[in-house]
Structure 1
Amino acid sequence: MESSCNLSNNRVTNVQTGETITLSSLWEEGACVIQFLRRFGCPICRMGARDITHLKPRLDAANVRLVAIGQEETGAKEFIESGFWTGDLFIDQQKKTYGDLKYKRYNFLTIMANLMCKMTREAVSKATSEGITGNMTGDALQMGGTLVIDKGGKVLLDFKQETPADSVPLDRVLHVLGIGRQSRTLSVESR
């Protein structure tokens, strides 16, 4: 994916303010990291959100916006109040962006098989050991991912979840943004 132009006019709603914006406004002023969440109640999603939030001070210093987008309002208030996310939080109520990005969507049988796989069980166990709990409310069939978009809309990283336990390597996010190095890369990286 070389450009985000097919996403620019998609609309999302800010959970905190209720304001609806176009996605392109997220990267008008500078680069943006967008975490597309599966479910707000998913313990693996909560752990991943908490982990990427640890990058926020470094992203802020580099003028990079950190945003999360969920697919439904179910559990959003608890997600915010529990401190799993410190950036802006939006909802893609029509799930249009998830579809446009071709994020995988499971059916009941395939999600059950993926939930029982070793990698997913280990991720749930890790979340539990770190005190992260969850619930089963919301749409568990939709996968998510992470986009890193440069100012103006060029996609620098397009990470797609294949299983519920997949999460973007945080060093890749920093790498494509050139954070921690002197020069900034503009190469496009995809999973």
Structure 2
Amino acid sequence: MATQKGSTTVAEAIKDIELEKVRGPQSENLVKAGTFWQDQTTLIHILRRFGCKLCRHYALELQKIIPVLEEQNVRVIGIGIEKLGVEEFLEGGFWNRELYIDNGKKIHHALNIKSVGVLSTVKMLYDSRDAIKKASNVPGNMKGDGRQLGATFVIAKGGSMLMDFRQKEFADHPSLASILEACGVDQKDFPANLDGESEKVVCN
């Protein structure tokens, strides 16, 4: 269940969870989530699966706005739920910012981010066919936990929630414009190549 804007519930729930660094500025291999928003606003994108075509496609979409976010001093964090496929994900150029692994899906358990059953998985794949077609030029595979849903958060410096988006379907993602708005980017500074078809959800 999404939290209201300004709430610190999510930050408090996950701040002490240790994540394994894949790519990041720290010298330590294990990093507490709470350090991400200690000094600046942070976009946290929790991926379903590194081999997922939809996840890869959206990660590429996010790259359209990352330069604008970083100009606004917004830190960009990617989090996966397992190491399987991470090297291929990085080598394929799908993500070029900080990346961490949440071994044991501790964030998902703390925030009750859903995993779906077999029948729901089949239905979601059918319902996602248009999005899958849109991502047809993106390579993918079926390796890993295909039933887990993901999430996208924007957390302000200090821990206040600016955006809480949790997937209900495999193809659910917040629009790029809604992320920029949550991060306080003026519309005049939006890139011209934004995809307007993704769902726009900002916590309120």
So what's the TM-score if we normalise by structure 2?
0.85
Take 1:151 and 1:37, find their aligned partners in 2: how far apart are those partners? 22
User: 1:16 offset after TM fit, Å?
Assistant: 3.3
- Other-structure match for 2:192: none
1:145 matched to 2:155: no
- Aligned-partner Cα distance in 2 for 1:47–1:181: 24
Paired with 1:80 and 1:140, the residues of 2 have a C-alpha distance of 19
CA separation in 2, counterparts of 1:162 and 1:99? 16
Return 14-23 or 140-149, whichever deviates more. Answer: 14-23
Aligned residue-pair number: 182
Equivalent runs, 1:72-111 vs 2, <5 Å = 72-111=82-121
Conserved? CA contact 1:7–1:97, under 8 Å: yes
Please tell me whether the aligned partners of residues 23 and 97 of structure 2 are also in contact (alpha carbons under 8 angstroms).
no
Q: CA deviation at 1:95?
A: 0.2
| Kept in 2: contact 1:145–1:168 (CA 8 A) | no
Tell me whether 1:14 sits opposite 2:4 in the alignment.
Answer: no
Q: Give the letter for the 1:8 counterpart.
A: K
Cα separation, 2, equivalents of 1:158 and 1:16: 24
> Which amino acid in the other structure matches residue 9 of structure 1?
D
Partner of 2:191: none
The RMSD of aligned alpha carbons is 1.7
Find the aligned partners of 2:89 and 2:105 in 1 and give their Cα distance: 19
> Offset of 1:86 from its aligned partner?
1.3
Instruction: After TM superposition, list the pairs within 5 Å mapping 1:167-186 onto structure 2.
Output: 167-180=173-186
Preserved CA contact (<8 Å) 2:20 2:101? yes
d(CA) in 1 for partners of 2:29, 2:183 = 28
Cα deviation, 1:149-188, whole Å, max 9, x if unaligned, reads: 0001111100011000111111111111111269xxxxxx
Shift of 1:66: 0.6
Query: Which amino acid in structure 2 is aligned with residue 99 of structure 1?
Result: H
Equivalent residues of 2:114, 2:148 under 8 A apart: yes
The Cα of 1:190 is off from its aligned counterpart by: 2.4
* Runs of 4 or more consecutive aligned structure 1 residues displaced over 6 Å after TM superposition: none
**Within-5 A mapping of 1:36-51:** 36-51=46-61
Aligned to 1:127: 135
Q: 2:125 matched to 1:115?
A: yes
Shift of residue 101 of structure 1? 2.0
After TM superposition, the structure 1 = structure 2 runs for residues 44-63 of structure 1, keeping only pairs within 5 Å, are 44-63=54-73
Question: Is the 2:47–2:79 Cα contact (8 Å) retained in structure 1?
Answer: yes
- Which residues of structure 1 form unaligned runs of 5+? 183-188
Contact 1:53 / 1:87 at 8 angstroms: preserved in 2?
A: no
